[in-house]
Amino acid sequence: MFEADPVMLSRILTGLTLAFHVIFATLGVGVPIMIALAEWMGIRRNDPHYTMLARRWARGFVITVAVGVVTGTAIGLQLSLLWPNFMQVAGQVIALPMFMEVFAFFFEAIFLGIYLYTWDRFKSKVRHFLLIIPVILGATASAFFITTVNAFMNTPQGFELVDGVMRNIQPLEAMFNPATPTKTAHVIITCYLTSAFILAMIAAWKLFRGNDHAYHKKGLHLSMVAAFIFSIGTVLIGDLSGKFLAEYQPEKLAAAEWHFETETEAPLVLGGVLNDEGEVEYALEIPYALSILAYGTPGAEVEGLNETPEDLWPPLWVHYAFDLMVFIGMYLTFISGAYLAIYKFKRHLLYNRPLLFGIIAGGPLAFVAIQSGWFYAEVGRQPWILNGLMKTAEGATQADHVGLMLILFILLYLFLGISTVLVLRGMFKKKPAEQELYERGIETRGDSA
């Protein structure tokens, strides 16, 4: 029975916690760099609008950091509570990156506290700006370290498994496993991209509603330029990730592409549905594209899913998650590129409504892409918790009441999610940017450049 299966319930609860946490974690990694860019622009150009952007972004950021911290604490503990057998075995190897992640987070926490409470304390503006650097380093480093753990679960190495116990361990080899470079780079760049789009969304929304204050225009421009650069990075690293999968986890790539027969000149399958006979219908096929994605040449042979025994197949619905992620990634590149093109060549059309709407949509879509990307990555390695070594079912807890805990956590995340939205709305509605600029004596009321 579904309800009584602690393995399934543990998977759902872990998935739920991570899906909720990743929203805040993504912002936690990406927003500091945007704050830094804005503050730096403010100093360089001596433009208080940018400084105000940094201040207001930082203020909203604290709220999301708080929820990120508590949900991060939750997943840290849940690893041992829900997967005690897995942690007992893998704890021998993943201890180092987890430990280092905590240090990075510690470092970030200290400097974030200092940064937020020293806005007007130093005579030199640059000195305050410097305090955000350790926040960026800490946030990015913790994303890096924790992602190496996930990379290890995909391509475990650096030990020998003897009777269920890991021996002859090389901590660094485990940490820098084949999945580490592409996975960490992909995670970090998409955090930056998503955060840039979220901030762009806010500015675009203001402009869309008819507010034409220079503050919002500068906010939009800064975040769109950043978003375009990050989206190019995302596309390039995404391509490397595909090549990594072809080499090390061909069954994951094959499941994503519904690629069953091993063949050369393999086509890429977009969309479509699988019928009862396991055939793909209504899909758009791009010839050679999968071979190019996997190995960089149209003639390359790509391993099909049929090479993997059927009981070790990942669920085939990961295809949709994969496609969704890729489509949105393309869309984000396109819309930020369109903004820049119009900015350069047709500046009088810059704030046209379809473009602004497209940018606004980019914010939530970027989050959809983050979620579907993670679901693809995680579900795509099922049934393994340690790829090729330990099945997910072997790692789960035997304890009772997992179902009850699942209900409690659903309620918690609902409660936190709703409160976060209410609080953030309240914060920025109560004091719009124009009012704050006025109160700080930066400009007179009604002024717009």
Residue 160 or 276 with smaller CB distance to another protein: 160
Other beta carbons within 10 angstroms of residue 148's beta carbon come to 25
Residue 76 or 298 with smaller CB distance to another protein: 76
Residues 118, 131: Cα–Cα separation, whole Å: 9
Residue 85 or 306 with smaller CB distance to another protein: 85
Q: How far is the CB of 16 from another protein (least distance, A)?
A: 13
Number of residues that bind another protein (CB under 8 A): 78
Say whether residue 89 binds another protein (CB under 8 A). Answer: yes
Of 46, 352, 419, 448, the residue at the interface with another protein (CB under 8 A) is 419
Residue 344 or 430 with smaller CB distance to another protein: 430
Q: How far is the CB of 361 from another protein (least distance, A)?
A: 27
Whose structure tokens read 């590129």? 337
Q: How far is the CB of 379 from another protein (least distance, A)?
A: 24
Of 46, 80, 264, 297, the residue at the interface with another protein (CB under 8 A) is 80
Say whether residue 7 binds another protein (CB under 8 A). Answer: no
Say whether residue 292 binds another protein (CB under 8 A). Answer: no
Q: Compute the 3-state secondary structure of the chain and give helix, strand, coil in percent, each to the nearest 5.
A: 70, 5, 20
Q: How far is the CB of 71 from another protein (least distance, A)?
A: 7
The DSSP letter of residue 278 is S
Non-local CB neighbours of 340 within 8 Å, separated by 6+ positions: 224, 225, 228
Residue 4 or 408 with smaller CB distance to another protein: 408
Of 46, 170, 297, 448, the residue at the interface with another protein (CB under 8 A) is 170
Residue 76 or 337 with smaller CB distance to another protein: 76
SS3 431: coil
What are the beta bridge partners of residue 302? 263
Subset of residues 180 to 239 that bind another protein, contact rule: CB under 8 A: none
Residue 97 or 358 with smaller CB distance to another protein: 97
Contact 131, 114 (CB under 8 A): yes
Binding mask 37-66 for another protein (x = CB under 8 A): ----------------------x--xx-xx
Contact 354, 288 (CB under 8 A): no
Give the helix/strand (H/E) hosting 386: strand 384-386
Contact 101, 179 (CB under 8 A): no
Say whether residue 435 binds another protein (CB under 8 A). Answer: no
Contact 41, 47 (CB under 8 A): yes
Binding mask 316-355 for another protein (x = CB under 8 A): ----------------------------------------
∠ CA 120-125-51, nearest 5°, is 80
∠ CA 318-254-21, nearest 5°, is 35
Q: How far is the CB of 406 from another protein (least distance, A)?
A: 10
Subset of residues 92 to 131 that bind another protein, contact rule: CB under 8 A: 92-93, 95-96, 98-103, 105-107, 109-114, 116-118, 120-121
Residue 127 or 440 with smaller CB distance to another protein: 127
Residue 93 or 302 with smaller CB distance to another protein: 93
Q: How far is the CB of 95 from another protein (least distance, A)?
A: 3
Q: How far is the CB of 445 from another protein (least distance, A)?
A: 22
Subset of residues 133 to 162 that bind another protein, contact rule: CB under 8 A: 134
Of 150, 409, 433, 437, the residue at the interface with another protein (CB under 8 A) is 409
Residue 232 or 393 with smaller CB distance to another protein: 393
What is the token pair recorded at 304? 């099909």
Say whether residue 84 binds another protein (CB under 8 A). Answer: yes
Contact 337, 229 (CB under 8 A): no
How would DSSP label each residue in 20-62?
Answer: HHHHHHHHHHHHHHHHHHHHHHHHHTT-HHHHHHHHHHHHHHH
Q: How far is the CB of 413 from another protein (least distance, A)?
A: 9
Non-local CB neighbours of 302 within 8 Å, separated by 6+ positions: 246, 250, 253, 254, 259, 262, 263, 264, 266, 290, 291, 294, 295
∠ CA 322-327-333, nearest 5°, is 130
